[in-house]
Amino acid sequence: MQPDPLETRSPAEREAALAQALPVQVQAAMAVPAMAARLQGVDAAGITSLSALATLPVTRKHELLDAQNAQRGSDAFGGYSALGWATQRALRPARRVYQSPGPIYEPEGFAADYWRVARAMRAAGFTAGDLVHNSFSYHLTPGAWIMESGAHALGCTVFPGGVGNTELQLQAMQHLRPSAYTGTPSFLRILLEKAAETGVQLPSLQKALVSGEAFPPSLRDWLLERGIAGYQAYATADVGVIAYETSAREGLVVDEGVIVEIVRPGTGDVLPDGEVGEVVVTTFNADYPMLRFGTGDLSAVLPGPCPTGRTHTRIQGWMGRADQTAKVRGMFVHPSQVADVLKRHPELGRARLVVEGEMANDRLTLHAETASAAAGLQAAVAASVRDLTKLRCDVQLLPPGSLPNDGKVIEDKRSYA
């Protein structure tokens, strides 16, 4: 499908819109207690650019959980949302509340296409009048409702298939003849394999928007061989759709309703384009005003615009998890501590802390790139590691380009046998 006008605007137009929208969103965040506490001393009117946004703290999922745990019974969302209900602190009523593992509770407001899914669906070829077979779970978590909201915004009809009950879902697909599918790619494969096994024909099914797990090219091609064009959307329960695939099949285009930054794991420091780091998302949602929300996922910015004409940032897609905390000799070592070592020694580039040996007999080695291994640098870096982690560590200095660009800061290679 053709992109909409927002997707094809010039970088200058997008920056101008950002300069107007960011202060409004920061002000909305200051209206909820948890974000107000995090933003003490911030002048909302001064947050008008990506560089200004990068000065704000990153909020990570474990902080949401900690806040919710501390306020169970009084504020289900730990002070991060303007939404609630009669027995909860709230500025506005919530439409629904969901539970994700943790448990972490997420709100849904009343805005149309609250999770911003319609744009991803249009890119996948969904149009008004399609019947969408939705095989995400309608139980506890928001996955099914996220997709359903986008389908309704497009003018589609939804069959709430949910998860499991493969035979019944196939029966419904045979009777109702949906043109589109939403759900995980693996369950779509299960449905198609079961259909082939039982002789069920599904000629109407021609497109799919999948999410919730990896969608490798091999599975994409497998679906195409069966007449189904599958596209992926990258979304979370906290911030909705972050990025989506287009017909170019070159990474994922960031949704127009969010800002994506790629930061060094464990920090809020924005990395250069192409470097792998943690995906940090800012939404323009006053109901649940997430500013610099750390998803815990790894990705990287791709160079240039999408060949389809969409001009927003493109990212590589999901490349692993950013939380690489390891316990070594009874002490937790965090990616942020490796970042602190690099800040003390700016002559270092990429670095990776490798943990080896067997449990209770751990060996730590910091592999760090540098273009100038000055005398005494190795010993100074080792001293910094010990100062910051309270652990002894060997240091290996390497020429630039020696370490892979995969976002890995701590690598645990110990034997757990």
Q: Would 187 be classed as within a structural domain? A: no
Residue 386 belongs to a domain: yes
pLDDT higher than 80, residue 416: no
- 112 phi/psi in degrees, rounded to 5: -65, 140
Judged against a pLDDT cut of 50, whether residue 389 lies above it is answered with yes
Q: For the chain, what is the domain count? A: 1
- CATH of residue 367: 3.30.300.30
In a domain, 393, yes or no: yes
- In this predicted structure, the answer to whether residue 374 has a pLDDT above a threshold of 60 is yes
8 Å CB contact between 343 and 268: no
- The pLDDT, as a whole number, for residue 359 is 52
pLDDT digits (tens, 9 = 90+) for 375-384: 899 999 999 9
Average of per-residue pLDDT values in the chain: 93
- Quick one: pLDDT at residue 73? 84
Terminal Cα-to-Cα distance of the chain (whole angstroms): 52
User: CA torsion angle for 211, 117, 103, 99 (degrees, to 10)?
Assistant: -110
- In whole angstroms, what is the distance from residue 270 CA to residue 59 CA? 14
The residue ranking higher by pLDDT, 284 or 359, is 284
pLDDT range class, residue 266, cuts 50, 70, 90: confident
Is the pLDDT score of 414 beyond 90? no
417: pLDDT confidence band, cut at 50, 70 and 90? Answer: very low
Tell me, what's the pLDDT at 373? 81
Given a cut of 80, is residue 415 above it in pLDDT?
Answer: no
Query: What per-residue confidence (pLDDT) applies to 323?
Result: 77
Give per-residue pLDDT as tens, 18-63.
999 999 999 999 999 999 999 999 999 999 999 999 999 999 988 9
Residue type, 125: G
Q: Is 338 part of any domain?
A: yes
Residue 370 lies in a domain: yes
Q: Please report whether residue 361 resides in a domain.
A: yes
pLDDT band at 120; cut points 50, 70, 90: very high
Domain extent for 357 = 328-412
**398 assigned to some structural domain:** yes
pLDDT tens readout for residues 87-102? 887 889 999 999 988 8
The pair of three-digit structure tokens given for residue 329, joined into one six-digit string: 């000799």
Dist CA 246 CA 205 (whole Å): 19
Provide the pLDDT confidence category of residue 336 given band limits of 50, 70 and 90: confident
Rounded to an integer, what distance in angstroms lies between the CA atom of residue 214 and that of residue 210? 9
**59-60 and 131-134 beta bridge pairing:** unpaired
pLDDT in tens, 58-80: 999 889 999 999 999 889 999 99
SS3 173: helix
pLDDT grade, residue 358 (50/70/90)?
Answer: low
- CA distances 358 to 108, 334, 378, 385, Å, are 46, 20, 25, 21
Residue 37 lies in a domain: no
